Amino acid sequence: QSVWSQVPQAPPDAILGVTEAFKADKSPKKLNLGVGAYRTEEGKPVVLDVVKEAEQRIVNSPTGDKEYLGIGGLPEFCRLSAQLAYGECSKVLQEGRVAVVQSLSGTGSLRVGGEFLAAHYPHKIIYLPTPTWANHNKIFPNAGLEVRKYRYYLPRTRLLDYEGMMEDLKSAPQGAVVLLHACAHNPTGVDPSPQQWEGIRSIIQQRQLLPFFDSAYQGFASGSLERDATAVRMFADAGMELLLSQSYAKNMGLYGERVGALSVVTTDPKTTKKVESQLKQVIRPMYSNPPRHGAAIVAMILGNPKLYEHWKVELKGMADRIITMREKLHQALVDQGAPGDWSFILKQIGMFSFTGLTKEQVTNMTNKWHIYMTFDGRISMAGLSASCCSYLAEAMIDSYK
Ligand code: PMP
């Protein structure tokens, strides 16, 4: 009898479990639209050419070694990451008001940010949108924060529930933390318009709430790094304090390298220093210091004008392919006479489309059509190719019945 015999079986992960089921399916028609990773038109994972080039330069560098990084990571990486998010001419950067540490991709940033808040911020409540990326619901309680919800998506209109969101933010207790998806909201693909962002910003400022931006898709959503940073910059430029999690998983395709950044905007350089010292206090007993390879790649690309331009072209290529898939799926649904209005597929942005399929309908998609997706009805547009759109449309029409 094992000492672990009483350990209960944990349920499979809501998102990663889909890939497990997909792998076990023997059908040649099978399609995995569950996981949030970019695929080529041929369904293959990609390493960006600019990443390969940066890796070559790193490997060939005479100064390269495998020493530990500092607790806060590679300084050049941190500086360039903040510049990418807040903008080159950003006031908060010029004034020394941003504490930055390297992190274990977006997930690691959120967790370190959550633990920092639990230790040093007087209000222990974080508001999450309904729905949100499933992992948010676990990261923040594990970090020691109480999770509450604000309305975000209205299934009836398939649009932002702006009024509901504003009401919930108005009634949130003063000081509460509010998690905001910087762009390409996961799983709905529904983002506020710039005017709505301004309304959200203003209510957050009035109520003295603390914004925590989750930016997992900068440049990957619209194809423009600037456009996808609009909300973060709007808040920072308005003189607000905030937290920001950045991930290079999608926009540089560095998923498994686990490279990201956490930054905290404060009011003055002295506070920035103190905050940075406490972020390191969270990191040191958790994983000591972050890995260097991914950060070296990012720092090389962001710091070299030629590589940076090359990256922007490849990034736009990925974003454009996803936008094209939206058009093709929409067209296939219309061509096959699907009843109703499907324009939401074109309006949504980012890697995912929120189809509105119910759990039972998703089960039909999987069992009958071998199409794998999460039970909330989310499909990854990046996992789709032009040749599959017609098959997917047929399956969707059948499942909606
Ligand atoms: N936040 C959101 C909204 C995401 O969609 C993701 C990736 N699925 C992440 C954070 C974190 O991903 P990673 O830890 O791989 O950077």
What is the predicted pLDDT for the residue at 16?
A: 78
User: β-pairing, 177-181 with 98-103?
Assistant: unpaired
- At residue 18's C-alpha, the angle toward residues 14 and 24, to 5°, is 145
- At residue 176's C-alpha, the angle toward residues 173 and 181, to 5°, is 125
What's the CA-to-centroid distance between 107 and ligand 1, angstroms?
6
Q: How far is CA 172 from CA 130, 149, 169, 203, 208, in A?
A: 15, 10, 5, 11, 10
Q: State if residue 181 touches ligand 1 by the CB under 6 angstroms criterion.
A: yes
What is the predicted pLDDT for the residue at 43?
A: 86
What's the CA-to-centroid distance between 383 and ligand 1, angstroms?
16
Hey, what amino acid is at 368?
K
| Tally of CB atoms within 10 A around 343 | 11
What is the predicted pLDDT for the residue at 354?
A: 92
Q: How far is CA 4 from CA 1, 13, 72, in A?
A: 8, 21, 36
Instruction: Measure the CA–CA gap between 77 and 100, rounded to whole angstroms.
Output: 10
- In tens digits, the chain (401 residues) has pLDDT values of 999 999 999 988 877 788 888 999 999 999 999 878 999 988 899 999 999 999 999 999 877 789 999 999 999 999 999 999 999 999 999 999 999 999 999 999 999 999 999 999 999 999 999 999 999 999 999 999 999 999 999 998 889 999 999 999 999 999 999 999 999 999 999 999 999 999 999 999 999 999 999 999 999 999 999 999 999 999 999 999 999 999 999 999 999 999 999 999 999 999 999 999 999 999 999 999 999 999 999 999 999 999 999 999 999 999 999 999 999 999 999 999 999 899 999 999 999 999 989 999 999 999 999 999 999 999 999 999 999 999 999 999 999 88
Q: State if residue 247 touches ligand 1 by the CB under 6 angstroms criterion.
A: yes
Q: What is the C-alpha radius of gyration for the chain, rounded to an integer number of angstroms?
A: 21
Q: What is the ipTM of this complex?
A: 0.99
Residue 363: both structure tokens together: 């089960």
What is the predicted pLDDT for the residue at 379?
A: 94
Hey, what amino acid is at 274?
K
What is the predicted pLDDT for the residue at 135?
A: 94
- Output the DSSP codes for 179-234: EEESSS-TTT-----HHHHHHHHHHHHHTT-EEEEEES-TTTTTS-TTGGGHHHHH
Nearest atom in ligand 1 to the alpha carbon of residue 255 is 15
Q: State if residue 249 touches ligand 1 by the CB under 6 angstroms criterion.
A: yes
E runs forming strands in 324-390? 352-354, 371-372, 378-380
Q: Is residue 143 within 8 Å of residue 297, measured between CB atoms?
A: no
What is the predicted pLDDT for the residue at 277?
A: 98
What's the CA-to-centroid distance between 134 and ligand 1, angstroms?
10
What is the predicted pLDDT for the residue at 221?
A: 94
Instruction: Measure the CA–CA gap between 229 and 212, rounded to whole angstroms.
Output: 14
Residue nearest to atom 12 of ligand 1 (CA): 106
pTM for the complete prediction? 0.96
What's the CA-to-centroid distance between 193 and ligand 1, angstroms?
22
| Cα distance between the two ends of the chain | 50
Instruction: Measure the CA–CA gap between 334 and 116, rounded to whole angstroms.
Output: 49
Which residue from 351, 394, 354 is spatially nearest to 371, judged by alpha carbons?
394
Which residues participate in catalysis according to the annotation?
133, 214, 250
Hey, what amino acid is at 263?
S
Instruction: Measure the CA–CA gap between 377 and 54, rounded to whole angstroms.
Output: 38
What backbone phi and psi angles, to 5 degrees, belong to 302? -70, -25
Nearest atom in ligand 1 to the alpha carbon of residue 36 is 8
Residue 36: both structure tokens together: 């949030």
Instruction: Measure the CA–CA gap between 146 and 259, rounded to whole angstroms.
Output: 27
Which of 112, 180, 186, 262 to mutate for ligand 1's pocket (most ligand atoms within 8 Å of CB)?
186
What is the predicted pLDDT for the residue at 36?
A: 85
Residue nearest to atom 4 of ligand 1 (CA): 216
Instruction: Measure the CA–CA gap between 320 and 310, rounded to whole angstroms.
Output: 15
What's the CA-to-centroid distance between 214 and ligand 1, angstroms?
8
Token pair 């929120």 is found at 354
Q: Is residue 360 within 8 Å of residue 389, measured between CB atoms?
A: no
